[in-house]
């Protein structure tokens, strides 16, 4: 019944013309913790159109982190089909998954997760390094930092930057490889409300200017309401969309 959900018209139209960037169906994930089997995902299906801004909400234990890890190719589903940008990734090996993450996914974490001893520039360069790209790494990293408004902070280390600035570095790092989707896990969770608003503005701006598909995991309804589509997860299934 996903198709029946109200979405902005341009998303609907574009989805019809182009392929889905995320096309996952019947995702199942079972963890074995000791003797217990934990069913984190129970046949969850979700489709996301390119350029969409959506949020995933749900109480802790609902499976939203597992969903994010699966969509971000950090983890493989136990069963189910997952096409990312048209590529089937559900059964890829570790190194192929790493490659997919490098080219198609950008991550933004609640705790920023910057390398503490490296400068902002080096942090942003990191995905390019693993992509094995020679040459213009520095230029591309500088460009990404400029896009998040940190052109004058490139040589600063994380401990010399405010929380908002650190998250900007993380955003620059997430977009530097021109990924298909950007996954943000509670991007404003560790920030004061002012920096949080700025970060959200920046993320939404990125979506408008660059057409980046944005998936935000949050439990803050005020954040979720800024997105076009809210997916509520409960007990490993999509409970409802709004």
Partner 1 sequence: MNYLNSFLAALESLTSNKLRSALTVLGIVIGVGAVIAMLAIGAGAQNSITGSIEGIGTNLLFVVSGGSEDVRNPKPLTRADAVALSDGFQAPSVIGVAPLLQGSVEVTAQGESTTTAINGVTPDYSWVRNATLAEGEFINEAHLLGRSAVVLLGTQVAENLFGRKDGLVGESVRIEGQPFKVIGILEEKGGTGFTDEDDRIIVPITTAQARLLRRSTPDRVDLILVQAISAEDVPQAGQEVADILRSRHRTGIGEDDFTVFNQQDFLETASAITGVLTIFLGGIAAISLLVGGIGIMNIMLVSVIERTREIGLRKALGARKRDILIQFLAESSLLSLTGGILGILLGWTISAIVGQIAAASDTAINPVIGLDAVLLATLFSTAVGLFFGLYPANRAASLEPVEALRYE
Interface positions with partner 1 (CB under 8 A): 69, 72, 74-75, 94-95, 98-99, 101-103, 107, 109, 113, 115, 117, 126-127, 129-132, 173, 177
CB of 168 to partner 1, least distance (A): 17
Please give the radius of gyration of the chain, using alpha carbons only, rounded to the nearest integer: 18
Output 75 or 235, the one with its CB closest to partner 1.
Answer: 75
DSSP state letters, 113-136? ---TTS-HHHHHHHHHHHTT--ST
Minimum gap (Å) between residue 231 Cβ and partner 1: 20
Q: Which is nearer to partner 1, 137 or 153 (CB)?
A: 137
Helix then strand count (H, E) for the chain reads 8, 10
Q: Which is nearer to partner 1, 96 or 242 (CB)?
A: 96
Nearest by Cα to 123 from 107, 111, 141, 110? 141
Whichever of 15 and 141 has its CB closer to partner 1, that residue is 141
Contact 48, 20 (CB under 8 A): yes
Q: Quote the CA–CA distance of 234 and 62 in Å, as a whole number.
A: 5
CB of 234 to partner 1, least distance (A): 21
Please report the beta strands in 49-199, taking only residues with DSSP state E, as ranges in sequence order. 53-57, 79-84, 87-88, 105-108, 181-185
Q: How far is the CB of 8 from partner 1 (least distance, A)?
A: 30
Which residue, 51, 46, 88, is CA-closest to 67? Answer: 46
Q: Which is nearer to partner 1, 97 or 202 (CB)?
A: 97
Smallest gap from residue 69 Cβ to partner 1 (A)? 5
Q: For residue 62, what are the contacts with CB-CB under 8 A and spacing of at least 6?
A: 233, 234, 235, 236
User: Least distance from C-beta 102 to partner 1, angstroms?
Assistant: 2
Among residues 109 and 228, whose Cβ is nearest to partner 1?
109
Question: For 69, how many CA atoms within 13 A lie in the half-sphere containing its CB?
Answer: 13
């Amino acid at each position: 019944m996903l198709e029946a959900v109200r979405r902005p018209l341009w998303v609907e139209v574009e989805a019809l013309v182009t392929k889905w960037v995320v096309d996952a169906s019947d995702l199942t994930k079972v963890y074995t913790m000791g003797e217990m089997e934990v069913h984190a995902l129970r046949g969850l299906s979700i489709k996301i159109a390119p350029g969409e801004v959506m949020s995933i909400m749900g109480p802790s234990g609902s499976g939203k982190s597992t969903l994010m890890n699966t969509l971000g190719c950090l983890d493989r589903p136990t069963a189910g089909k997952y096409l990312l940008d048209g590529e089937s990734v559900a059964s890829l090996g570790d190194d192929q998954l790493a490659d997919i993450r490098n080219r198609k996914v950008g991550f933004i974490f609640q705790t920023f997760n910057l390398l503490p001893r490296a400068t902002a520039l080096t942090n942003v360069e990191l995905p390019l390094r693993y992509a094995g790209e020679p040459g213009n790494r520095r230029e591309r990293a500088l460009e990404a930092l400029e896009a998040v408004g940190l052109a004058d902070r490139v040589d600063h280390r994380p401990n010399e930057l405010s929380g908002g600035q650190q998250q900007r570095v993380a955003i620059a790092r997430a977009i530097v490889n021109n990924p298909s989707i950007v996954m943000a896990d509670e991007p404003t969770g560790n920030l004061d409300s002012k920096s949080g608003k700025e970060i959200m503005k920046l993320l939404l701006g990125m979506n408008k200017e660059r057409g980046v598909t944005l998936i935000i995991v949050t439990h803050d309804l005020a954040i979720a309401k800024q997105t076009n589509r809210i997916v509520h997860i409960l007990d490993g299934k999509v409970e409802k969309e709004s």
